[in-house]
Chains A and B, each alone.
Chain A
């Protein structure tokens, strides 16, 4: 079963983390990625640039309108995600709980099953 584990981040909150705390978060992700690679559960994982870098694209009267993002004004944004292939939803939750973000108040870790996927995975 394929799941996306989304990492919902709060840029303001990340700014106040100390260097040690940031490093610990990074190490935690690295360890988890290694473990999921070895077990054959990780399909891919990625992190996104700051939401302020987003471009919002719309088409109005066949004309392209591009404005500075993000689209939704919010404190929290999608920071990245893991795409995994695991035995069960329970296992997906077990892995999600190992993500350092899950232990930090204000950061969100969300598990949702994939309903449709297509395209080349080996990039």
Chain B
């Protein structure tokens, strides 16, 4: 078995082993450390000595031993716990719910999103601290501290190793889905040197969401989120040039979209909409599916996109949704209608000076035949963004719409740089 295959196998069984151990001993923090150590031992031993016949049993045994060592070295531990730990752990196919319980635990509401994300990737995703640190471009020590702080918080919150019931279940699942969405997004918006690692995060998020979907197949939002990820991921080859420049949706080479992911995504999106409740992920998946359905940008069913944004806006009011609806509205009713809708966001504090508001306005001004206004807003948007890829894209859009001064005036400038327009103050 090759190293990558072993890695995949470990990622698969690590949360199962951790789930079984944590259910048995109730101390998530120690169990997580023990399983992480056992998993590291496997990555060293298995490629050299061969994969054991029962990899899960091996991992369980080694992790249990580590846990016992930990308990023994901790004088405060009661002997009772040692006694339980030394009993052989039955190795049947583990209770499949354990992975889900682990996920709920890692996405504990007392943690910050960054900690939830890190802990989920380690305990459920089976990634090492070093891998997670690389993916988020921070030193390993920084990530290790974040993970250990997160585990301490969970312990302090006194969480039990069980699935919450009733209304709490729905609320906690919402957090879990948000964390999975954040992991996916982190991989999707890759813009710097470590693009490879970050693309892996998108794949990892999809793998984890598939796992949740397999356990909760009837939850429409889980289905919707998986569909949204697959449909978004299907465009990854087309959304940037080889040089790393962003390519907007309407200019992407649709032949490079991944048909397999699109077909699966569209099917899941349709299935999720057939469910009894409608949620934000289902609607976003439906919007992505509408785009995926169009053979060319010109064939996009904009009235449907607009209608879906309208429902999404009512369901989960958010200025970003309104912003996206303005683009769809401009496509169906003309740019002035889109600009009018944008104007309603001007008083919104959350959007003040936001680069997305500036860039969408620039886009609509350009469509409305106002290159000077478009230029100014693209420039301001470029200054406001924190993403270098986006900044390059916005600068390029700005120079595309720039009204060239008459030749004799421009002759002395001798620079390709756009003039200072003094409008970049945020």
Verify if B311 is at the interface (C-beta below 8 Å from A).
no
Q: A40 with B387: in contact, given A85-B136, A87-B113, A121-B137 (CB under 8 Å)? A: no
B-facing residues in A72-123 (Cβ within 8 Å): 85-87, 113-119, 121-122
Closest to B391 in A: A115
A41 and B142 within 8 A (CB): yes
Interface pick from B4-12, B44-52, B71-79, B143-151: B143-151
Chain A: interface residue total (CB-CB under 8 A): 22
Residue in A85, A87, A114, A115 whose CB lies within 8 Å of B142: A85
A122 and B141 within 8 A (CB): yes
With a cutoff of 8 Å between Cβ atoms, the chain A residues found around residue B388 in the complex are 115-116
Verify if A31 is at the interface (C-beta below 8 Å from B).
no
Closest to A91 in B: B112
Q: How far is the CA of A122 from the CA of B130 in the complex (A)?
A: 10
* Whole-angstrom distance between the Cβ of B88 and the nearest chain A Cβ: 37
B145 and A121 within 8 A (CB): no
Chosen A-B contacts, 8 in total, with CB atoms closer than 8 Å, are A37-B145, A39-B145, A40-B145, A85-B138, A86-B114, A116-B191, A118-B192, A118-B193
A87 and B138 within 8 A (CB): no
* Whole-angstrom distance between the Cβ of B114 and the nearest chain A Cβ: 6
A40 and B144 within 8 A (CB): yes
Closest to A121 in B: B139
B138 and A43 within 8 A (CB): yes
A38 and B387 within 8 A (CB): no
With a cutoff of 8 Å between Cβ atoms, the chain B residues found around residue A118 in the complex are 192-194
B-facing residues in A33-76 (Cβ within 8 Å): 37-44
B143 and A122 within 8 A (CB): no
Residue in B115, B145, B191 whose CB lies within 8 Å of A38: B145
Q: A39 with B387: in contact, given A44-B139, A85-B136, A121-B139 (CB under 8 Å)? A: no
Q: How far is the CA of A56 from the CA of B388 in the complex (A)?
A: 28
A115 and B386 within 8 A (CB): yes
B112 and A87 within 8 A (CB): yes
With a cutoff of 8 Å between Cβ atoms, the chain A residues found around residue B391 in the complex are 115
Verify if B140 is at the interface (C-beta below 8 Å from A).
yes
With a cutoff of 8 Å between Cβ atoms, the chain A residues found around residue B143 in the complex are 40
Residue in B137, B149, B194, B386 whose CB lies within 8 Å of A40: B149
With a cutoff of 8 Å between Cβ atoms, the chain A residues found around residue B387 in the complex are 115
* Whole-angstrom distance between the Cβ of A110 and the nearest chain B Cβ: 14
B386 and A113 within 8 A (CB): yes
Closest to B385 in A: A115
Q: How far is the CA of A115 from the CA of B138 in the complex (A)?
A: 14
With a cutoff of 8 Å between Cβ atoms, the chain A residues found around residue B115 in the complex are 40
Q: How far is the CA of A1 from the CA of B385 in the complex (A)?
A: 13
